[in-house]
Amino acid sequence: MSDKHLTYADSGVDIEKEESTIKALTSGMTYRREGLGAPLTDIGHYAGLIEFGEYALAMATDGVGSKVLIANEMKRWNTVGIDCIAMNVNDLLAIGAEPISFVDYLALEEHTDEFARQIGEGLTRGAEISKMTIVGGETATLPEIINGFDLAGTCLGMVKKDEIITGEKVQLGDVLVGIPSSGVHSNGYTLVRNIVDRSEHSYHDKFPYNPETTIGDELLIPTRIYMEVLDVIKECDVHGLAHITGSGLLKLKRVTDLGFDFTDPIEPNDIFKFLQEEGNVDELEMYRTFNMGMGFLIVLPEEDARKAAEMTGGKIVGKIVESGIRVGELEIV
C-alpha cells in the first residue's frame, strides 16, 4: 500500500482543468443549423440531439481510454470493443434514445491480424447486446503518434421528441434507483494504473479478493450495457437518467440542479476495495473518480421505483433533495 493518498489529479487527470478545457473548446461553437438537423440540446448533456421530424436523432462519441494499456499488458483485446460501444450506448440511453448504428475509429502503431480479430470480436459483441449495426469506421496507421493503439467510436440513436429525457421533470421526493456496474467500466484508469504501478502487485498476479482470476483480468471486465433502461422508460414515468462515468457522482449535475441523497448506496465491487486499499485513496476521491458499484441511475416517482429496480436488477439507493450530493455522511459536493 502507498503511504501517499493517491488522487486522479496527481495521476495526470485533473477534472477541474478538463472542464476548463472543454469550456475553452466549445465557447466559440456558436453556429446552429436551422430546420432539419437543427440542435435540440446545448452541448454538455450525455448526448447531442438534432431535429429529425417526429424524431430526434441522438449522437454520442467516446473511447476506451487508457484501459487499452492494460489490454496490451495482458495481450487480450477481445473485451475493449464492448467497452467502446458501451461508453457510447449508455450515454444515448441516458437521454432515452435507442441506439441504431455505430462507427468505430481504430488508430494503431502497427498491424497484426490477431489483434484486429480480437478488436472486431468485442465490437461485434457490443453491437449485438445493443441491438444495433456497425455501419463503418476508420482504421489509421499512425506510428509517429500512437504507441500501441486507441479505440473510439460514434453512436447514432433515435427517440421520439416527446419522449426525450433530459431531467427537467426531476422533482423533490423523486426516488433514485441505482443499477450495479460490472466493475471499473472504462473510467479512471489513469489512477488505476498509477495504483497498480506503485503497489507490490502486477496485472498478472492473482486478484486477492478472487484468486481464480488475475488483477489484469478483473480490470478488463467490460463495461455493462444498460439496454434494459429502454424497457423501464416504456413502463415507468422516468424523470431523469444518469450514466455514471469519469468523475463519478460529480456528473449528476448534468441531470438536475436539485440534490441527490444516497442513503443506501450499492456496495462497491471488490475491485474498488482493492484499489482504495492499495492506493490509500480516500473515500471522497473514490466517489469523485469511479462509479463505485453503480453504473447507471434512474430518477422516478416513488410509486414506480420498486418496479424499475426489479426490471434492472437494481435497488432503491436514495432520493432527490434540495441540494448537494451525499453518500451517507460523505459530502461529494
CATH (domain of 37): 3.30.1330.10
Work out whether strand 315-321 and strand 259-262 pair parallel, antiparallel, or are unpaired: antiparallel
Q: Which residues contact 180 (CB under 8 A, 6 or more apart)?
A: 224, 266, 293, 294, 295, 313, 314
- Give mean pLDDT, residues 10-24: 76
119 and 233 in one domain?
no
183 and 231 in one domain?
yes
Give the model's pLDDT for residue 42. Answer: 82
pLDDT for residue 13 is more than 90: no
322 and 178 in one domain?
yes
**Residue 302: all three cell numbers together:** 416513488
- Give mean pLDDT, residues 263-292: 97
183 and 324 in one domain?
yes
What share of the chain in percent tops pLDDT 90?
A: 87
Examine residue 228 and state whether it is found in any structural domain, yes or no.
Answer: yes
Q: Where are the beta strands (DSSP E) in the chain?
A: 48-52, 55-63, 98-108, 133-141, 149-160, 175-180, 206-207, 210-214, 240-243, 259-262, 294-300, 315-321, 325-327, 330-331
Give the model's pLDDT for residue 113. Answer: 96
Give the model's pLDDT for residue 19. Answer: 73
Examine residue 11 and state whether it is found in any structural domain, yes or no.
Answer: no
Examine residue 1 and state whether it is found in any structural domain, yes or no.
Answer: no
Helix (H) or strand (E) holding 142: none
- Give mean pLDDT, residues 260-276: 98
Give the model's confidence band at 24: pLDDT under 50 very low, under 70 low, under 90 confident, else very high.
confident
Examine residue 4 and state whether it is found in any structural domain, yes or no.
Answer: no
Give the model's pLDDT for residue 1. Answer: 56
3-state SS assignment for residue 52: strand
What whole-number distance in Å separates Cα of residue 55 and Cα of residue 47?
15
Give the model's pLDDT for residue 30. Answer: 79
What whole-number distance in Å separates Cα of residue 133 and Cα of residue 160?
20
315 and 187 in one domain?
yes
Q: What is the C-alpha R_g of the chain?
A: 20
Examine residue 24 and state whether it is found in any structural domain, yes or no.
Answer: no
154 and 91 in one domain?
yes
Give the model's pLDDT for residue 3. Answer: 62
Give the model's confidence band at 41: pLDDT under 50 very low, under 70 low, under 90 confident, else very high.
confident
Report how far apart, in Å, the C-alpha atoms of 33 and of each of 40, 42, 54, 60 are: 10, 13, 18, 18
The residue among 225 and 1 whose pLDDT is bigger is: 225
Using one digit for the tens of pLDDT, what is the confidence trace for 108-148?
999 999 999 999 999 999 999 999 999 999 999 999 999 99
221 and 81 in one domain?
no
What whole-number distance in Å separates Cα of residue 139 and Cα of residue 103?
11
* Cβ atoms of residues 177 and 110 within 8 Å: no
Structurally, the chain folds into a number of domains equal to: 2
Full domain range(s) for residue 41 = 32-160
Q: Which single residue is written with the C-alpha cell 423533490?
A: 172
* Cβ atoms of residues 74 and 220 within 8 Å: yes
Using one digit for the tens of pLDDT, what is the confidence trace for 50-107?
999 999 999 999 999 999 999 999 999 999 999 999 999 999 999 999 999 999 999 9
218 and 118 in one domain?
no
Residues in the chain: 333
Examine residue 27 and state whether it is found in any structural domain, yes or no.
Answer: no
**Residue 8: all three cell numbers together:** 486522479
Q: Which residues contact 28 (CB under 8 A, 6 or more apart)?
A: none
